[in-house]
Amino acid sequence: MSHVTALQNSALLRWSARILTACLLVISSGCAALRGYDSDGRPKSRQFQVNLSGLDWMEISYMPAAGDPLFSNSCRLSLYGSGEIIFLTGRSPKVWDSFSSKVDDPHWTEIFEDRLHVPQDDMQAVYQQLVDAGLVTVRAGSRFHREDLRPPFVKFNGRIDRERVIRITDDRRLVRIIERILQNFEQTALHARRIEEGRF
């Protein structure tokens, strides 16, 4: 084999390796897309204009970070298309899970509740923020399980404009929206904390 032929073969091998690497990257990217996730691991989301109705609803459970200065326990928000917001907090297992059957829990009845009613336009704006932040995924569900998450994180269960939503996530975009709503119930949260700590 001549020196020129050897160089040509070497160049051909390098070129083939580049093509193979590029193909593998494309295939990998395509598989990620088929799985319904962006390159950063976030579930792909569907964006749409929310047309709020009285049939829309959302149950949102919030798990605060350890040492949170305001919320010492989980909280739950119920957002209704009518404009009503119901806030719950406390050590009862029913706060995180409304279907909890842990009736023997010593804090079963320890629930603190507050309510707020806002104009439907304001509620529609909240729902739109959630959609814009990526709440509604292209593929139902999420690859994240609770043990994969670090507080603060949120659990969503509801319906937005005929879209069924069931998701648990620590996505900071979504968590921040919920934390802003929770600020409206600061006094109730502080009262619950004082009761828990024995400071009446």
> How many other C-beta atoms can be found within 10 angstroms of the C-beta atom of residue 50?
21
Residues of the chain with pLDDT > 90, as a percent, come to 60
Calculate what percentage of the chain has a pLDDT beyond 70. 73
- Answer yes or no: is 52 within a domain: no
Residues 71 and 143 in one domain: yes
CATH number for the domain that contains residue 173: 3.30.1560
The number of folded domains in the chain is: 2
148 and 99 together in one domain: yes
Q: Is the confidence at residue 24, as pLDDT, over 80?
A: no
Residue 69 has pLDDT above 90, yes or no: no
Residues 27 and 118 in one domain: no
Does residue 101 share a domain with residue 25? no
**pLDDT, greater one: 152 or 14:** 152
> Are residue 31 and residue 126 in the same domain, yes or no?
no
Mean pLDDT of the chain: 81
Distance of CA 59 to the CA centre of its chain: 12
Q: How confident is the model at residue 139 (pLDDT cuts 50, 70, 90)?
A: low
**14 domain-assigned:** yes
Q: Please compute, for residue 29, the number of CA atoms within 13 A of its CA located in the half-sphere on the CB side.
A: 6
Task: Give the Cα separation of 130 and 116 in Å (integer).
Answer: 19
State the pLDDT at residue 11: 45
88, 157: one domain: yes
Taking CA atoms, 88 is separated from 67, 92, 176, in Å, by 19, 10, 18
In a domain, 47, yes or no: no
- Residue-wise pLDDT for 141-194, tens only, equals 444 444 478 899 999 999 998 899 999 999 999 999 999 999 999 999 999 998
pLDDT at 30: 47
**Per-residue confidence band for 137, with pLDDT thresholds at 50, 70 and 90:** confident
Give the range with max mean pLDDT: 10-14, 65-69, 138-142, 177-181.
177-181
What is the Cα–Cα distance from 192 to 200, expressed in whole angstroms? 10
* 9 and 97 part of one domain: no
Q: What does the pLDDT read at residue 45? A: 82
Given pLDDT bands bounded at 50, 70 and 90, which one contains residue 20?
A: very low
- Taken as a whole, the chain contains a residue count of 200
Per the model's pLDDT, the better-predicted residue between 44 and 8 turns out to be 44
Does the predicted model carry a pTM greater than 0.85?
no
Instruction: Identify which has the larger pLDDT, 19 or 125.
Output: 125
In a domain, 80, yes or no: yes
pLDDT value for 38: 53
Segments forming the whole domain that contains residue 14: 1-35
Residues 139 and 191 in one domain: yes
Q: Is residue 113 part of a domain?
A: yes
